Amino acid sequence: MITEDAERVLESHNLCDHCLGRLFAKLGKGTNEERGRAIRFVINMERSAKGLPPVDEPAECELCWNVFERVPELVERMREASEGFEFETFFVGSRFPEEIREREKAIWEEFGIETAEPINREFNRELGKAFGRVMGKDTAKNPDVVFIVEPFSGKVELQINPVYVYGRYRKLVRGIPQTPLPDFEDSVASIICRAFSRVSGGKCIFKGAGREDVDVRTLGNGRPFIVEMKRPKKRRFDLDVVAREINASGKVEVLGLRFVSPKEAGEVLTRNHRKEYLALVLVEEGVTPEEAEEVARKLTGLEIHQRTPWRVRNARADKVRVKKVHEAEARWIDDRHFELRLVTDGGLYIKELVSGDRGRTRPSVSELLGKPAWCERLDVLNVLDH
């Protein structure tokens, strides 16, 4: 049946071995060109036995216009397009004229062919194999780079997939924002991204798992973050060297840098982290050691109903969030100060937990004390994964 169907097709259409073999791509193993050559060979043996002339491969295929002969030229164009970019894995896609795809489908329908594959699928595979041989690279489902090739115009579009690095940062000083702001020379993001941009040659995008205020330090195990390098020229570089450059700033320190997948990067940023804080509380009307201890006792395990703080109301949706204080410990310092160590759900605003924020956060330290209290100084001690 295969040779009968193939002979019927060849009596009406001048097809190359690639396009002939592709009609039966789902049968047997090997390339479509090998399949087509074998089918043509058997057909011509049978025709010879019948005294009929052979059906030779045409000088020009009416379906693909001999596009597979352009593979070596296109491999060279792909090599030129990717010059200067480091990559180990790649994927090939192509854009074929609609006219060719419609003509191919018409042949399938005309002869009831149900074992074929589309021309672009074969072309992508063969071009990929040829490029991989020349460059010593491998194809992959999640590749470093993607080539989109227009076979007839010869245009090659190169998509460079980002590189993602996970780490945790400590902000060792007060007075710098997490991301760039007017009137601030530096930020956590700019200090980190300068080093990554230098080694990767790409554009660095910084994404923190939460954020702290300008006047808040982040200490302990640090805050998780992801950097995304867009269109990097280098994809593999020494992260220890990057860490040393960042840490030399004296303002920001990074820990545990490692390359991660896009999926893992997304999970880091969407995970809900508990936070451990150390707040210096000011009570201008005075506070006793017993009052400080009582506040900590009442806060432990307490649910806090916090309406979006007044100071960020223009940047955040105005709604009430319910967060929990998991642990609270107090250390009395003097008649007007005590320290409060807190472990809370992520997203709880600590300054407002202390002050009450004009009644927008309830209960608050001020409410529990029965007198106004303020957060004079705040540090993030740890960002907890659970």
Give the integer Cα–Cα distance in Å for 103 and 110. 10
Determine the Cα–Cα distance for residues 219 and 360; give it in Å rounded to an integer. Answer: 28
Active site residues: 213
Q: Which conformational region is residue 352 in: left (phi greater than 0), alpha (psi within -120 to 50 degrees), or beta?
A: alpha
Taking the alpha carbons at both ends of the chain, their separation in whole angstroms is 64
Rounded CA-CA distance 42/28 in Å is: 15
Q: How far apart are CA 354 and CA 361, in angstroms?
A: 9
Amino acid, single-letter form, for residue 129 = K
Please, are residues 314 and 366 in contact by the beta-carbon 8 Å criterion? no
User: Is there a contact between 277 and 216 (Cβ–Cβ < 8 Å)?
Assistant: no
Pairing of strands 138-139, 89-94: parallel
Residue 335 identity (one-letter amino acid): D
Helix (H) or strand (E) holding 361: strand 361-362
Q: Which two tokens stand for residue 337?
A: 């100060």
The answer to whether residues 14 and 66 touch, using CB atoms and an 8 Å cutoff, is: no
Binding site for substrate, by residue number, is: 277, 349
Query: Tokens 């672009």 identify what position?
Result: 120
For residue 72, cis peptide bond before it (omega within 30 degrees of 0) = no
State whether residue 166 is helix, strand or coil: strand
The crossing angle, in degrees rounded to 10, of helices 119-135 and 71-81 is: 60
For the chain, the residue count is 386
Task: Classify the C-alpha dihedral 278-284-289-294 as positive or negative.
Answer: negative
CB atoms within 10 A of CB 371: 14
Structure token digits, residue 193:
């991204």
Contact between 274 and 345 (Cβ < 8 Å): yes
Query: How is residue 250 annotated by DSSP?
Result: S
